[in-house]
Each structure stands twice: as C-alpha cells, then as structure tokens.
Amino acid sequence: MSKQNELSELELIDKEYVFGTWSYQSNVSPTEIVDSSGNALIGADGERYLDFSSQLMCSNLGHSSDSVAQAIADQAHSIAYVQPGFTTEARAKLGEKIAEITPGSLTKTFFSTSGTEAVEAAIKIARLYTGKHKIMSRYRSYHGSTYGSISLTGDPRRLAAEPGIPGVIKAPDPYRYGSTLDPMQSLEYIDEMLELEGDTVAGIIVEPIVGSNGILVPPKEYLPRLKEIAHRHNALLICDEVMTGFGRTGEWFGCDLYDTTPDIMTMAKGLTGAYQPLGATTVTKQIADYFEDEMFTHGHTYTGHPVAVAAGYEAVKTYEREGLISWAREMGEYLSKQLERLDDKHPSVGEVRGVGLFHGIELTRVENEYAPFVTRADKLSSESTIIDEAKASLWENGVYLAGIINTLILAPPLTITQDEIDTAIDAIDDVLSMVDSKMDS
C-alpha cells in the first residue's frame, strides 16, 4: 500500500524484522493499521478505508463485534489455556453448535488453529479411515501453506514447495470462462481419472466455490454428481469451507447451495470472524464412529484453545442473533445487480462470477475474448500487475480490495450496508475505467 521510500519508522521496523507473506521481501511494503470501526480500517495516516474483501475473506463480522471481543476477554481472564485432555464449556458447546449448523450427519469436530491445519487433519482422517493413500484435488485451488495442504493446492504457490507430500493427484476445475472443458465435462474426466487410478484414492478435496483462484461457481448439479462419483470409487468427498463457510455465500456453508453433505468439512476464517485463529475439521457420524475402536492419531498443543473456541462460539451465536446469513443473501443480490451494471459498462470485464457476498471480476485485455491481463506464471513474478495497480488505486480512494492473478475479489463483511456497497462500486467503477484504457487496441 505505502511506497517503500515513504514508510514510517514502525513500518520500516516491521519490514526489517518480520517476513512478508508470499512475497519477494524487497517488494514488501507494510501499511500500519491503528484502529478499526464497523466495516472499515483506520490507517496511521488517519484515513478510513472500507474493507470490501473482509481482509483475507475472513472478517465476516466486520471489525466491531463487541460481543466476540468480550467473550475473548472473559475467557482469557477465566481459563486462558488447558491442554486438550481437559475441556471447557466453550469447546463443548461450539462442537455441539457446529453439528447443529452443518448439513446432514456431520457431527464430530477436531479443532486446530488455522485452515491449513484443518486440511492437514482432513488428509490424515481420510487416509486413516479408508486405508488408502492418494488425495485428489484441483488445479485452480488453494488449501493452505503447510506441506500437506500446499501439496493439495493447485495454484502456482505450491511450486516452490514441490515435490511436497506423495500421493496427490490434480484434476480439472469447473471453470467455464477459461478452460477447454465444460464444468460437467470436467466431472466425467475426474470419473475416468479415478477409474484409471484403481481403488487407491482416499478422498477428493474441493472448495464448493473456488475462492482465491477466481471465485469459480459450478452449476447446481456439480457437487452432487461429484459426491456420487467419489463414493462410486470408494473415495470420500472433502469440502474445504475455509473461505465459503459462515454466511459468505448467503448460506451457512457453500455446500448448502448444492444440497450436498460432504464426508469431511474443513472450516476456519469466518468461524471466529477472524477475531481469533481457529480451524475445524468435522466428519460424519460414520467416520466418527470408526475411531471409537481405532486410534485417532492426531493432535497438537492448541487443539480447542479455550480463548479461540470462546470466540468461535460467540461468533456463531452472533450470526444467528443478528440474522447475518439471510442479510448476506439479501446484500449479495444487491451486489450482484451492481456488478451486472459494471459488466455492461466496462469492456475490460471479462466475466463476473459469484453468489452471496462472494464475487469476482475477471479482467480481459481484449473485449469479448478470454485474454487475461495476468497469467498464472505472473503470480510468481516480482513485477507489478494490473491487479496490483487496481488494488493500489482503490486503496488511494478509500477501499481495500483483494485480488489474485487476474481477478478482483469482492467479499465484504456480512455486516455490510447498501450504502457501503454503493461506495465500493463507485470506486471500482473508476478503477475499471483505468483498466479499460490499458486494453489492447
């Protein structure tokens, strides 16, 4: 955000002593945030910035949930930590609440501290339960940064970690705009892959709606059919709901849009609204029952950390109490209509995709063609891209927006108002005019 030659003393200290993530460190330019209010951040410059991507698609409750903050403080003063062999009221109640709000027979949860750890647990559970080794994922995906989850990840961030863990195979995506396969055709390809792999695949992990790789929304028939294919080959369906969970799509979970219950579900981000780091891996009763007489060989020090689960329990109650799931659906419909207007107006908009408060604007440099400004290979470059320029321009105009590769990601907090959506859309409108001017003539 800030230019490096204009960094404050504190920002320079941070740059010197703290790693910037997914970055060439020479390019890292941290921006100090000193406060937050509602759905906005307050910079050290005193300016207010509307958070229109919920930071990393995680601050679902915005930045002023007094009830969650109070739950954190109360728990820290009462029982700040106990080892996982003990329990607390918040841990037990959150486990019960997750079983209540998740679909079908999902019933028992392992708590961790992040989405990547939730995925690691899912890998291990699938392998232990099935007795098989391989995990199938998709090319346009992100599942985390630890060795197992980055191996499952399809996007270019995995390349530096390769060869990664063994037994991972990649499948095509439901990407109508930029793929040679129709989404439903890609499923038949997956079916054939599983046939050719023999009975060796423990599970298939997918984001119900792909998040940071472009907000890819499959057709209604996709996820039910994928589950049928997985089960026909004795593989589990694992839904990574780290980004799509807790109201982001206008439903509790992305898989609810498809009336499909996975065998394993991973969660994080919106689970606490980002007020504490907390991940969760929830399994069906059938899988849970398996471990009654088979050892569950997984765990770590901060499993079910009291302060984190207290934040999670209060966050879920806040979603319920304030009616935020239905509000996200309503505001998502309004956002979608505003994006249709931008799509009609700007030739640089290749495609708008999304549902609920989870939308992406994919850019094109040639009108009415799939001609991305930024390619997957550019993700690993140290050079600035059109997405970087767009994000910087939006920041200068008081709006924070995330973007990756060739897509701007619109994922505001569930507490967003119609007026705030209008403010962000006006700023995005201006930025798209700048992008229009850089298209191929």
Q: Is 282 exposed, middle or buried (0-12, 13-18, 19+ CB in 10 A)?
A: buried
| pLDDT above 90 as % of the chain | 93
Q: To which residue do tokens 């060439």 refer?
A: 24
pLDDT tens readout for residues 256-308: 999 999 999 999 999 999 999 999 999 999 999 999 999 999 999 999 999 99
Cis peptide before 163 (omega within 30 of 0): yes
What is the model's pLDDT at position 179?
87
Per DSSP (E only), the strands in 182-293 are 201-206, 236-240, 264-267, 279-284
Say which residue the tokens 């471990």 belong to: 291
> With a cut of 70, which residues of the chain have pLDDT below it?
1-5
Read off the amino acid at residue 330.
Answer: E
Phi then psi dihedrals of residue 146, to 5 deg: -75, 170
Domains defined along the chain, listed by start: 32-64+323-436 (3.90.1150.10), 66-321 (3.40.640.10)
Nearest to 62 by CA among 416, 308, 399, 409: 416
85-108 pLDDT, tens digit each: 999 999 999 999 999 999 999 999
Q: What is the pLDDT of residue 1?
A: 44
What are the CA-CA distances from residue 412 to residues 48, 170, 354, 402, 421 (Å)?
15, 31, 13, 10, 8
First to last CA, the chain: 30
List, as one string, the DSSP characters of 280-318: EEEEEHHHHHHTTSS------TTTT-HHHHHHHHHHHHH
Q: What is the pLDDT of residue 402?
A: 96
pLDDT of residue 3: 53
Report the pLDDT value the prediction gives residue 438, as an integer from 0 to 100: 94
pLDDT in tens, 386-422: 999 999 999 999 999 999 999 999 999 999 999 999 9
pLDDT at 4: 52
